[in-house]
Every structure is written in structure tokens, then in C-alpha cells.
Amino acid sequence: MAETEWKAIWQELESLKRENKYLRNLLDVTLDKVVEIERRINRVEEKVNPGLELYYREYKGIGYAGKYNFEQIDESARELIKNLFYEAAKKISSPSFETWFTGTITDARLTEDLLIIYANNDFGRDWLETKYSDLIHEIVAKFLQREVQIQFVKDR
């Protein structure tokens, strides 16, 4: 190979190295921007999501608002039951939820260490107690940040 060919190859190699360095720097800058944008998105979501969740829970709902009158629930337990419905609706099928939660629970009372859930009939009470007791305990304990005893009774 002639010296001029080697020189041309060497110059091309140096040019490719410079271009590679430029592209790596560009990639680093781009990745830094992506990470910063993701952080900003996360900060905004942390501020927005609780408000959106509350809005949907109270006004739009997840398959239960508009179908269930939460005003009938005793004030001491109203927010707890709303949260119970919201979380249960995400964890069980819609037909089961509508049958055994919105279709069965008629009232609730909450004291310091006891939640009483009223069902519209004996069968519904028994079904909630045998099939959904663990789920209800889990959701209630998470919401209250403490354990409470749960009693299922037939509505008066």
C-alpha cells in the first residue's frame, strides 16, 4: 500500500473516532435529558395522582359510583367503605363486586376497634364473611393503618 493510501485510511479512522466521540457525547446528553424528564414526570405524578384518585373515587368511581348511595352509610365508616369499594373493585370481577359489595352491603359502623358491616340478608352476610373476609380485613387495615375486628351482621 502506498503512503498516500495509509494516510487516507488514517485520516478516515481519525474522522470516525471524532464522530464516534461526538455521538457518544450526544447520547450521554440525551440520556441525561431523558432521566431528568422522567424525574420531572414522577414529581408531577406524585402531586397529581392522589388528587385524581380522590376525584375518581368520589365522583366517577370504578364501577360503583352512581350505583351506590354512600350517604346511607354511617358517617363514621363512610370514607372507609368508599375506600373498601374502590380497592375491592380493582381486585375482584365486576359481577362479583356488584353482587357481593354494592348489592349486599347496606350500612357500616366504625368504632375504635370494631367495624360492623351490615348485609341485606343472611346469605349475603355469610358470603361476605366466608369468601371476602380476608380481602376486607386487608383493605381495611391498610386504610386505617391498624387492625380492627370486623363483624358481619344482617341489616335490621
Cell of 6: 495509509
The 3 state secondary structure assigned to 98-111 is: HHHHHCCEEEEEEC
- The pTM assigned to this predicted structure is 0.57
* Segments forming the whole domain that contains residue 21: 1-60
**Would you say residue 65 lies in a domain?**
no
**Would you say residue 66 lies in a domain?**
no
Task: Choose the final residue of a domain: 15, 38, 60.
Answer: 60
Interval 73-122: pLDDT, tens? 778 788 898 889 888 888 888 888 888 988 889 889 998 899 999 999 99
Q: Is residue 87 domain-shared with residue 46, that is, in the same domain? A: no
If one counts the domains in the chain, the total is: 2
Interval 10-40: pLDDT, tens? 999 999 999 999 999 998 888 888 888 888 8
Q: Is residue 29 domain-shared with residue 89, that is, in the same domain? A: no
Q: Is residue 102 domain-shared with residue 53, that is, in the same domain? A: no
CB of 135 closer than 8 Å to CB of 121: no
